[in-house]
Amino acid sequence: MMDSSTMARAQLPPQVGERSGEEHSLRNDQPVPAGTPERGESPKISVTVGDTRKVRTLEVKAAVENLSFYYGQHRALKNLTIPIADKQVTALIGPSGCGKSTFLRCFNRMHDLQPDTRYEGSITLHPDNLNLVGEHVDPIEVRMRIGMVFQKPNPFPKSVFENVAYGLRLRGVRNRATLAEEVEKALRGAALWDEVKDRLQDSALALSGGQMQRLCIARALATTPEILLFDEPTSALDPIATAKIEELISTLRDQVTVLIVTHNMQQAARVSDYTAFMYLGELIEFDEAAKIFTNPGKKATEDYITGRYG
């Protein structure tokens, strides 16, 4: 029942061609916001989602191909191939220990901080065809381009302002006016500005859990990442704070490609455009979220989302 074949096949290499009008109707149920900026240099990639459905053209921000990951001898991820669509929300679901977080952390090379870890395969970041897990690619460069929000809110024990400004300071921004402007922009982007604008110099640890998590999102947004990774961002939050974060993630898809790991099926259904279901380090099914949650192609997926195991 749990075969290793995947539903998703990204057809590579990229077909360079005109951006078709169809990509704006990727999801029938949700119109793509009109203001999405176009980036002419991005390659176009055809993605066949499922066997029976028509081919749609969309920009792929990152193409994961045959990705395997090893902790020492243990192979935690097995031959994953998933296209991550540009300016879309892709959710990773699956039972505990299935490798969702491990997969997510490949994108910003967090595993490199641990000894004895190894990647195989590739994650190609477009438009510049950078293999994120390539041996000769500097993990720090990768992390400067790909932001991450963690499971537990982890603001630095500094002021609200310094938390958001830190990423820019690392990049050498020194001008106070520029910093202030960018910090405000990031805080607005994370829907936190109105709540903290009078307490920018207060300790970030004085904020509530939900505010802290939005601060962490602002901290990541301030450096204008190309992909934003969320590792169960709401698992430590109450329902109201969770709703705010979910709403925020929905609005973020205008500016950034989002990859989110979640334990909460409803959350995945609510926020994601695409959903990947993983089990024991393998990709079981990848499809449009609407399809996964209403008419999954695999029995295992159906069992999981209906709560029969996991």
- To another protein, the closest distance from the beta carbon of 5 in angstroms equals 33
DSSP codes of every residue in 210-265 = HHHHHHHHHHHHTT--SEEEEESTTTTS-HHHHHHHHHHHHHHTTTSEEEEE-S-H
Residues of the chain by 3-state class (helix, strand, coil), percent to 5: 35, 25, 40
Instruction: Report, in Å, the least distance between residue 99 CB and another protein.
Output: 18
* Shortest separation between residue 187's beta carbon and another protein, angstroms: 16
Q: Which residues bind another protein (CB under 8 A)?
A: 108, 110, 113, 115, 140-141, 143-144, 147-148, 150, 152, 154-157, 166-167, 170-171, 203, 205, 216, 219-220, 223
C-alpha angle 59-61-64 in degrees, rounded to nearest 5: 115
| β-bridge mates for residue 283, sequence order | 278
Shortest separation between residue 157's beta carbon and another protein, angstroms:
4
Closer Cβ to another protein, 10 or 220, answer by number = 220
Long-range contacts of 183-189 (CB under 8 A, 24+ apart): 183/218, 183/222, 185/222, 186/218, 186/219, 186/221, 186/222, 187/160, 187/215, 187/218, 189/217, 189/218, 189/221, 189/252, 189/255
Please state the closest distance from residue 146 (CB atom) to another protein, in A: 9
Q: Which is nearer to another protein, 155 or 297 (CB)?
A: 155
Q: How would you label 244-275 residue by residue, b for 16+ Cβ within 10 Å and e otherwise?
A: bbbebbbebbebbbbbbbbbbbebbbbbbbbb
- Our CB check for another protein shows the closer of 99 and 155 to be 155
Tokens 């829907």 map to which residue? 191
Query: Smallest gap, in angstroms, from Cβ of residue 140 to another protein?
Result: 5
The nearer residue to another protein, 225 or 297, going by C-beta atoms, is 225
Which residue, 47 or 146, is less far from another protein as judged by CB?
Answer: 146
Least distance (Å) from another protein to the CB of residue 39?
22
Closest CB to another protein among 110 and 300?
Answer: 110
The residues, ordered by sequence, that sit 6+ positions from 265 with a Cβ below 8 Å of its Cβ are: 93, 293, 305, 307
Q: Which residues are CB-neighbours of 134 under 8 A, at least 6 positions away?
A: 122
Nearer to another protein by Cβ, of 131 and 203: the residue is 203
How far apart are CB 287 and another protein at their closest, in Å? 29
9: which strand partners?
48
How far is Cα 132 from Cα 135, in angstroms, rounded to an integer?
Answer: 9
Residue with smaller CB distance to another protein, 70 or 166:
166
